[in-house]
Chain A
Amino acid sequence: MAISRSAYRRYKVIDSLLKNSYRPYPNLIDIQEGCTHKLGMTPSLDTLEKDIRNMKMTDVLDAPIVYCRTNKGYYYSNPNYSINTIALTDNDINSIKETLELLQNIGGGNRVNERFNDAIGKILATYKEEFPDSDAKRKIIQTDYVEGTKGFENFDVLFKACKNQNPVSFSQYSYSKREFKSLIVHPVLLKEFENRWYLVSYSESHNSLRTFGFDRIYEPLLLKRKYIAANNEEVNLYCNAIYGVYPIKNQKKQTICFKTTPVITNFLEAYKIHTSQTGEKYEDGSCLFTLELVPTVELIRLFRSYGRGIKIVFPNWIQEEVNNQ
């Protein structure tokens, strides 16, 4: 049962009155006065009676509210109860444990955030539940993730920078140019591709959107500086109309058409290269696929990886690029 915002505000008042040991056993009139004082509005006695009934419901707050006939007021039969503590059912706890195990199976300990594990650990500790680790070593799900990835220690800072739109200063090493640079960028998003993490951001020195591999970013610092928002259309093209991370210079979004052998057709039908992918299948099982995207280094690499299983129909320049291995 969903709780409305106004009802929850009244529940908080009722809870605080029931927890007040200086004025125990508040009655409906006391609660009404409490609401007037704390919320600036006076709910009817019927509403408050209904609120108490709802608070007692198992699927709402499961509050142990009892009416004391002797003292003519309400109280919590469990004095440790408060709606400020989280009411978790056994099912909730099991779900949390299962989710944690799932996260650990996909490398959650390092990949997500250890603070998250700590936070969940605290929640479970209040329920005297053990933090699940018994099965953590027996992996049920295997991913490509390899621990100790360089640069991943900066995930938190870069995530925060994207979330809060903080410009970032960092030093960067270019593998291809063999050159160090210090850069100021305005982060847009973090992207994972083929198990590698990248920061997509507007770079001041490049005056355009750029992708930086985590492994080449050194010591990012959040800056107190005006955030430059990149052009929405450019961000959309750069982040969505793309397979991979590094667009090929001076190439715009375009139609790419290629023919596949029956075996490769099966794979590409099962695992689309991109959401824009469409295909026209032939009787022999081969297929003419079409993509609408900005060509990338990774797309060319993917085409090459299929060898003779793929033949680029157009554009010609991609055909030549794929053949020029």
Chain B
Amino acid sequence: MKQKNKSLVFHYDSIGHGRTTPKLLRIQLTPEFTKIDFGYITNSIYINGGWIKMAPTTFIENNISKERYPLTKAEGIPLAPIKHNFQSKKDWRYFSLYFPPIPQENCTINIIEKINGTPNDFNYYDVELQLAEGIEII
């Protein structure tokens, strides 16, 4: 059993990377914040790779308690209505979203950019956070 309130990182390699959604790479749980890292690659269906932005109303929620944690900061991606326009169909973008710290306990969370959103929205459901799988950060 891991001690609570340490800084932990969880690795994900299977969520996302759909035609238009970023890949969820890592989640960091710290006493100060929750940070989620994403990697986005542009798609040839869009002119010059299209654009990305993040809704400022994005939140994470505990799947059981439904408690919500609003987005506090975004790094590497602008908040809507500002967009980041790509220059080519072969571009990529690494970005991170910050939320308030969530309790360090086994849980499942949803990352929601838009409630009942389309596949184009950056929504991720049922993301498992098993403390035993978290690795302590020095």
Chain A positions within 8 Å of B, measured between CB atoms, are: 166, 169, 171, 173, 178-184, 218-219, 221-225
Contact = CB atoms under 8 A, between A and B. Distances in A.
A223 B137 contact: yes
A223 B12 CA distance: 16
A178 B42 CA distance: 9
Contacts of A179: 17, 41
Contacts of B39: 171, 173, 180, 218
Ranked nearest first, the 7 interchain pairs of A and B with the lowest CB-CB distance are A180-B39, A224-B136, A222-B138, A182-B25, A182-B11, A171-B25, A218-B94
In the complex, which of the residues B12, B28, B94, B96 has the most CB atoms of chain A within 10 Å of its own CB atom?
Answer: B94
Contact of A225 (B17, B90, B135): B135
Interface of B: 9, 11-13, 17, 23, 25-26, 28, 37, 39, 41, 90, 92, 94, 96, 135-138
A178 B92 contact: yes
B41 A182 contact: no
Given A173-B94, A218-B37, A182 B135 contact: no
A224 B136 CA distance: 5
A249 to B, nearest CB: 22
Given A169-B9, A171-B94, 6 more contacts: A169-B137, A182-B25, A182-B26, A218-B37, A218-B39, A224-B137
Nearest to B42: A178
Contact of A222 (B17, B92, B137): B137
Contacts, number: 60
Given A180-B94, A218-B94, A169 B13 contact: no
Interface of B is mostly: strand
A223 B39 CA distance: 21
Contacts of A178: 41, 90, 92
B92 A171 contact: no
A250 B23 CA distance: 30
Contacts of B137: 169, 221-224
18 contacts: A169-B26, A171-B26, A171-B39, A173-B92, A178-B41, A178-B90, A178-B92, A180-B23, A180-B94, A181-B13, A183-B11, A218-B37, A218-B94, A221-B9, A223-B9, A223-B135, A223-B138, A224-B138
Nearest to B26: A182
A225 B133 CA distance: 12
A224 B8 CA distance: 10
B13 A182 contact: yes
A201 to B, nearest CB: 16
A72 B90 CA distance: 83
A267 B13 CA distance: 47
Contacts of B41: 178-180
A151 to B, nearest CB: 11
Contacts of A171: 25-26, 37, 39, 94
A221 B136 CA distance: 10
Contacts of B28: 221
Contacts of A225: 135-136
B124 to A, nearest CB: 15
B92 A169 contact: no
A221 B10 CA distance: 12
Contact of A166 (B9, B13, B138): B138
